[in-house]
């Protein structure tokens, strides 16, 4: 509905799209960097100058079969890539920084080792200003009270990408061994942990960090002193036994946040996992306004032998090459595909379009759209979590994608 396929790549048969897509212009060429959810590849470099015929330029493999490079972020010529191990204590976890001035030949600049006896390394990261990276990570000296709470916020100084240094950290009080605060009550039946997933710094408020803290909900931090982040507010659905807050995108000139949970169970076993519009005109007292409407064929999507529900949304980062959307939400919803909504009226979101093809190589033949980025040209670059690869889409609806 109102979305057409422009181009597709199997990514040399690898697929396994992760949660990191970044675009960069090299003169007349447009290059996409794509993280893989798991091995054998770490990330792919794809020439999307001709969107109908994307070409894989380079693929870098993982170091071991227990390593995944689920996330990446790009600023200038510095590409930062997350590395997470399958189990705590395994090697190669942390982040790597590359010089991608020649996109077909990424040059390794540094590796920050964040392995440890209680650490799986880094799951997700953002790199909004080219100076500091914001990580969901463990560390050698971070000991959680509960092993599910093993990933905190770490701020890393990358102003010299050859010498990354920790600048600050924050965790939910009560989750670390040694905390005076009591541990939080667990979410049941799906205890996904009190840990960070996505940290976002908006360009217009570099002193604020907006975070999806999985079972800990939505958290806003003051990071004017990066060595000592301070909590401003938190809102969660913990008391309702709903968790996995994933991504929180601020649209501050409208006084709202777009907050996406992640559906992690097949056939909607953990429903509801939704995208919520949050009012933050008073940032110390955020409150929900509305949810994006469920699919009319939700029952069918829930029986597609895969996941259905919310996941990643357009992050409104890097406006030089990607769209900053203030009235529209573009969302990856696993078997629901890419789904586009108008939030011009934040109390009554409307569906504008969707793209949800079948994928013969996936379980049940269902698409499992994992992540996306909306380019400055309006094209949507999206990936499938399993075998589908990269999809380049065009929205054709009458309501603007703005």
Report d(CA 258, CA 80) in Å as an integer.
25
Q: What is the pLDDT of residues 311-352, one digit of tens each?
A: 999 999 888 899 999 999 999 999 999 999 999 999 999 999
Query: Using the 8-state DSSP alphabet, how is residue 118 labeled?
Result: T
What mean pLDDT do residues 222-245 have? Answer: 95
CA dihedral angle for residue 299, residue 305, residue 310, residue 316, rounded to 10 degrees: -130
pLDDT exceeds 90 at position 7: yes
pLDDT in tens, 105-151: 999 999 999 999 999 999 999 999 889 999 999 999 999 999 999 99
Res 240 pLDDT > 90: no
Which are the contacts of 185, defined by CB distance < 8 A and separation ≥ 6? 238
pLDDT higher than 90, residue 69: yes
- Cα distance between residue 363 and residue 388, in whole Å: 11
pLDDT tens-digit series, residues 371-393: 999 999 999 999 999 999 999 99
Spell 295-309 as b/e; 16+ CB within 10 A means b: beeeeebbebebbbb
User: Cα separation of 49 and 381, whole Å?
Assistant: 12
Question: Could you give the count of Cα atoms lying within 13 Å of 222 in the half-sphere of its Cβ?
Answer: 9
| Closest to 135 in 3D by CA, of 183, 63, 83 | 83
Q: Which two tokens stand for residue 275?
A: 């995208």
pLDDT of 304: 80
Average pLDDT for 64-70 = 97
pLDDT tens per residue, range 152-198: 999 999 999 999 999 999 999 999 999 999 999 999 999 999 999 99
241, pLDDT greater than 90: no
What whole-number percentage of the chain has pLDDT above 70? 100
DSSP output for 5-21: EEEEE-TTTT--EEEEE
Taking residues 214-222, report their average pLDDT.
Answer: 97
C-alpha 385/C-alpha 263 separation (Å) is 13
Give the per-residue pLDDT at 305.
Answer: 81
Q: Is the peptide bond before 276 cis (omega within 30 degrees of 0)?
A: no
- pLDDT tens-digit series, residues 258-298: 999 999 999 999 999 999 999 999 999 999 999 999 999 99
Residues whose CB falls within 8 Å of the CB of residue 166, separated by 6 or more in sequence, listed in order: 154, 155, 156, 157
- Amino acid 239: pLDDT: 85
What torsion do the CA atoms of 371, 314, 270, 120 make, to the nearest 10 degrees?
60
Q: Give 281: exposed, middle or buried? Use CB within 10 Å, 0-12, 13-18, 19+.
A: exposed
Is the peptide bond preceding residue 40 cis, with omega within 30 degrees of 0? yes
Of the listed ranges 159-163, 237-241, 395-399, the one predicted with least confidence? 237-241
pLDDT at 66: 98
């Amino acid at each position: 509905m109102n979305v057409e396929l422009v181009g597709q790549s199997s990514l040399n048969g690898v697929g396994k799209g992760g949660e990191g897509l970044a675009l960069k212009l090299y003169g007349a060429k447009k290059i996409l960097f794509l993280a893989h959810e798991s091995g054998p590849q770490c990330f792919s470099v794809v020439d999307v100058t001709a969107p109908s015929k994307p070409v894989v330029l380079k693929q870098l493999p993982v170091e071991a079969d227990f390593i995944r490079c689920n996330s990446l972020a790009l600023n200038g010529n510095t590409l930062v890539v997350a590395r997470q191990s399958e189990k705590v204590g395994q090697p190669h976890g942390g982040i790597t920084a590359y010089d991608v001035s020649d996109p077909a030949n990424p040059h390794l600049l540094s590796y920050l080792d964040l392995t440890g006896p209680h650490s799986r390394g880094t799951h997700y990261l953002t790199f909004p200003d080219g100076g500091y990276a914001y990580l969901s990570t463990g560390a050698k000296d971070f000991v959680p009270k509960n092993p599910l709470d093993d990933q905190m916020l770490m701020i890393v100084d990358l102003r010299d990408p050859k010498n990354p240094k920790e600048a600050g950290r924050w965790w939910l009080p009560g989750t670390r061994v040694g905390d005076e605060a009591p541990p939080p009550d667990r979410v049941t039946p799906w205890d996904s942990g009190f840990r960070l997933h996505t940290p976002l710094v908006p360009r217009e408020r570099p002193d604020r960090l907006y975070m999806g803290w999985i079972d800990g909900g939505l958290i806003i931090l003051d990071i004017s002193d990066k060595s000592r982040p301070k909590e401003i507010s938190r809102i969660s659905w913990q008391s309702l036994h709903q968790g996995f807050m994933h991504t929180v995108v601020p649209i501050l000139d409208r006084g709202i946040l777009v907050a996406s949970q992640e559906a992690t169970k097949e056939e909607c076993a953990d429903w509801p996992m939704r995208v919520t519009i949050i009012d933050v005109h008073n940032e110390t007292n955020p409150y929900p306004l509305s949810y994006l409407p469920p699919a009319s064929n939700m029952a069918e999507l829930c029986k597609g032998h895969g996941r259905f529900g919310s996941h990643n949304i357009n992050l409104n980062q890097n406006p030089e090459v990607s769209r900053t959307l203030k009235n529209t939400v573009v969302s990856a919803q696993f078997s629901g595909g890419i789904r586009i909504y108008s939030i011009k009226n934040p109390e009554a979101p409307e569906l504008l379009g969707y793209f949800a093809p079948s994928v013969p190589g996936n379980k049940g033949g269902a698409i499992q759209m994992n992540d996306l980025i909306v380019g400055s040209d309006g094209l949507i670059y999206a990936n499938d979590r399993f075998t589908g690869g990269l999809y380049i889409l065009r929205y054709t609806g009458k309501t603007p994608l703005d």
